[in-house]
Structure 1
């Protein structure tokens, strides 16, 4: 007798042949997919402990969000009106005003939003820049993800110079601040990787994650060619140390990159943070030469849709045509991005169609690949995730098509990509275990987790003095353009 049988659904396999079975079934046993075939065939072949009738549902691999942030779920929309200063505001908050417990409560909220959006694997950079001065933050976050029951890729490593860096912990309600060296944050990152890589029955993996691959240029936007003066001593030292840690723990490297960084990184060919074991988020504003380097080195790329793509686009269509693996990420959930991968697919398509003035770029099938099998390749997990095939881990979701916006039921991939939303996901299975059934979370008390997150968020907002960034400006109502007209930001945080 097998553990679980999903029957009478439209199975979108994402396998090599991209098979779609209209009266399909998936047999699951001991955490893995046993077989994918027609319903009648599997009903005759197997008796299951539990059978789920997936009539009027699409059955597909769990979605994979290859880049998002731990912490951000507590601060949705805060400082949106002060977007020029959003990064230093949030970075200062993460460095000095979050408690150890914050990461546990936020981790539950973070994981629950992803779960209810059909994301079965999500990458989390801890903070706006990664924070690794103490492993407790990552350990608490991973614990929360494990309790909710979906997979997390914990991304932790050093933030940018100068060093030493000031960080705070909260002990018995009091802030304790100390100066932390670069070597200490590397040691903290190593401790996280040692403790979490392949932990919790391989629900958790840990990647070494410097904030950016080159620290000496603009960390959040492309750098003009006439400002690319070559790698600094710290750039070279960081690349060397990150490579050493990745080799020591047999893990992967994840980081951000923007235009100019790839040109600089390749100058240190021995330690360049490029290659098949590297996954770079953003890559906005990269040159054609840099795109070619990414493709030739086999470096994986992910991109999130957003306003930044208007000023400096990630050339994802060109990268694909050169043979690079490119995934869509949400980069969620703050200040304004959700973990809704269906929306992320549509936004990505619209941005690049508009930029290229060509309606025919990024067909629906390609977009779905970019959040399933391509995303699995991007994070080096495609041997077990990203498609519904015998032998792979049973990470499966079902989408309820029996709704006005998804009816009539045909052209299923088009319908999912162009009309579905996160709340259309009914069932989520991770490692063969039903984590959500008929949109009810089975692993944790959802509303208790929401209440705990609410209370911790309010405490953190008060502690960090973030209320001023939550107040609407006088241009909020009835105006076509917003202004702030008041000084809210402390320039000392820059």
Structure 2
């Protein structure tokens, strides 16, 4: 007798042949997929402890969000009226005003939102830029994901210079600030990887994650070619140390990159943070020669849709045509981004069709690949995740199509990409365990998670003095454009530590 049988659904396998099985079924035993075939055949072959009737549902592999941020779930929409300063405001908060317990409560909320959106594997960079001065933050975040049941890739590593860097811990309600060296944050990141990589029965993995692959240029956008010279000593040292940690623990490298960084990084032939074991988020504003470098080195790329793509886009179409594996991420979920991968697919399509003035690029099938099998490839987990295939991990979701906006039931992939939303995910299974059934979460008490998150978020907002960034401006109502006058800004938060914009 097997553990679980899903029957009478439209199975979208995402396997090598991209099979779609009408009145299909998925047999699960333990944490693996045993078989994928017609309902008639599998019902004859197997008797199951539990059978879920998926009539009027699509059955597909769990969605994979290859880039998001731990911490952001607590700060949705905060500082949106001061969006130019959002990054330093949030970075200052993460560095100095969150408690150790914050990461656990935020992790529960983040994992719960992803679970209900059908994301069975999520990447979490700790903070707006990674914080690794102590492993407790990542350990607490991973614990929360483990209890919820969602797979997590914890990403932490060094933020950008200058060094030493000021960080605070809150012990018994008291803030203790310490100047932390670059070596100390490397040691903290290494401790995280040692503790978490392949932990929780391999539902948790940990990647080494410098904030960006080159620290001496613009950290959050493309750099003018006129300002691209040579790698600094710190750039070279960081690449060397990151490579050493990745080799020592046989783990992967995850980082951000923008135009100009790849041109510089490839100059370091020995330790360049490029290659099949590297996954780069954003890649906005990169040149065509940089796109060729990514393709030639086998570097994996992901990007999220947003306004920043308008003035410096990720050349997704060109990268894919060159043979690069490209995934869609949410980069969620703050200041205004949710963990809804269905929205992310639609926004991505719209942005790149508009950029190319071509309504035919990025068809629905490709978009679905970019949040399933291609996403699994980006994080080096496609041997077990990303498609419904015998022998792979049993990470499966269903989408309820028996709703007005998803009816009539035909052209299912078009329906999913163009009309579905996170709230349409009905069942979620991770590692063979049913985490959500009939849209009711089974793994955690949802009400308790929300109550604890609200309490922790409000106490953190008060501690960090973020109330001023939650107010509406005088231009909020009745105006077609907003302005910054009247918004109270703290200089340290607005420009970053030591007067440098981070």
TM-score range, shorter chain: over 0.9
**Residue number in structure 2 paired with 1:362:** 362
Q: After the TM superposition, which residues 281-296 of structure 1 pair with which residues of structure 2 at under 5 Å, given as runs?
A: 281-296=281-296
Question: What's the secondary structure of 2:98's corresponding residue?
Answer: coil
Instruction: Give me the whole-angstrom Cα distance separating, in 2, the residues matched to 1:188 and 1:32.
Output: 34
2:491 corresponds to 1:488: no
* Number of the residue aligned with 2:466: 466
1:18 corresponds to 2:13: no
After the TM superposition, which segments of 4 or more aligned residues of structure 1 sit over 3 Å from their partners? none
User: How far does residue 168 in structure 1 lie from its aligned partner after superposition?
Assistant: 0.2
Once the two structures are TM-superposed, the CA of residue 101 in structure 1 deviates from its matched residue by 0.2
CA distance in 2, matches of 1:22, 1:116: 25
Q: Which residue of 2 aligns with 1:139?
A: 139
Which structure 2 residues correspond to residues 108-123 of structure 1 after superposition, within 5 A?
Answer: 108-123=108-123
Q: Distance in 2 between matches of 1:127 and 1:97?
A: 12
* Match status 1:338 vs 2:338: yes
Match of 1:442 in 2: 442
Instruction: Encode CA deviations 1:56-109: one digit per residue, 9 max, x unaligned.
Output: 000000000000000000000000010110000000000000000000000000
Structure 1 unaligned runs (5+)? none
How far apart, CA to CA, are the structure 1 residues paired with 2:343 and 2:466?
Answer: 29
Counterpart residue number, 1:208: 208
- 8 A Cα contact 2:82 2:487, kept in partner: no
C-alpha distance in structure 2 between counterparts of 1:32 and 1:172, whole Å: 44
Question: 2:48: which partner in 1?
Answer: 48
State the shift of 1:249 in Å: 0.2
- Kindly provide the CA deviation profile for residues 271-317 of structure 1, in whole angstroms up to 9, marking residues without a partner as x: 00000000000000000000000000000000000000000000000
Q: In the alignment, which residue of structure 2 is the partner of 1:87?
A: 87
The CA deviation string for residues 250-274 of structure 1, in whole angstroms up to 9 with x for no partner, is 0000000000000000000110000
Q: How large is the Cα RMSD of the aligned pairs?
A: 0.5
Superposition deviation, residue 487 in structure 1 = 4.6
**Deviation per residue, 1:440-469 (Å, 9 max, x gap):** 111110010000000000000000000000
| CA–CA separation in structure 2 for the residues paired with 1:58 and 1:292 | 37
In structure 1, the partner of 2:298 is 298
Distance in 1 (alpha carbons) for counterparts of 2:410 and 2:391? 29
**Following superposition of structure 1 onto structure 2, how do residues 95-494 of structure 1 map, counting pairs within 5 Å?**
95-493=95-493, 494=495
1:483, CA displacement in angstroms? 1.1
Inter-partner Cα distance in structure 2 for 1:486 and 1:479: 15
Query: What is the CA–CA distance in structure 1 between the aligned matches of 2:371 and 2:259, rounded to whole Å?
Result: 24
User: Residue 231 of structure 2: SS of its match in structure 1?
Assistant: coil
Of the structure 1 ranges 66-75 and 481-490, higher mean CA displacement relative to structure 2 is found in: 481-490
**1: CA distance between counterparts of 2:135 and 2:392?**
31
Shift of 1:30: 1.1
Q: How many residues align?
A: 494
Aligned partners of 2:431, 2:172: CA distance in 1, in Å? Answer: 39
Structure 1 position 229, deviation (Å): 1.5
Deviations 1:400-457 (Å, cap 9, x if unpaired)?
0000000000000000000000000000000000000011111110010000000000
Q: CA deviation at 1:484?
A: 2.4
- State how 1:19-34 maps to structure 2 within 5 Å: 19-34=19-34
Segments of 5+ residues of structure 2 without an aligned counterpart are 496-502
State the shift of 1:492 in Å.
2.6
> Partners in 2 of 1:197 and 1:396 — Cα distance?
23
Deviation, 1:179, is: 0.3
Aligned partner of residue 25 in structure 1, secondary structure = strand
TM-score normalised by length of structure 2: 0.98
1:91-137 Cα offsets, whole Å, 9 max, x none, are 00000000000000000000000000000000000000000000000
State the secondary structure of the residue aligned to 1:162: coil
CA contact 2:473–2:487 (8 Å) conserved in 1: no
Structure 2 counterpart of 1:74: 74
Structure 1 residue 485, shift from structure 2 partner = 1.0
CA distance, structure 1, for counterparts of residue 438 and residue 174 of structure 2: 44
CA distance in 1 between counterparts of 2:31 and 2:261 reads 41
Give CA-to-partner distance per residue, 1:147-190, whole Å, 9 cap, x none.
00010000000000000000000001010000000000000000
User: TM-score normalized by structure 1?
Assistant: 1.00
Q: Deviations over 1:225-267 (max 9, x none)?
A: 0001210000000000000000000000000000000000000
Where 1:94 maps in the other structure, the secondary structure is: helix
Name the CA distance, whole Å, in 1 between partners of 2:274 and 2:437: 41
Q: Distance in 2 between matches of 1:378 and 1:320?
A: 13
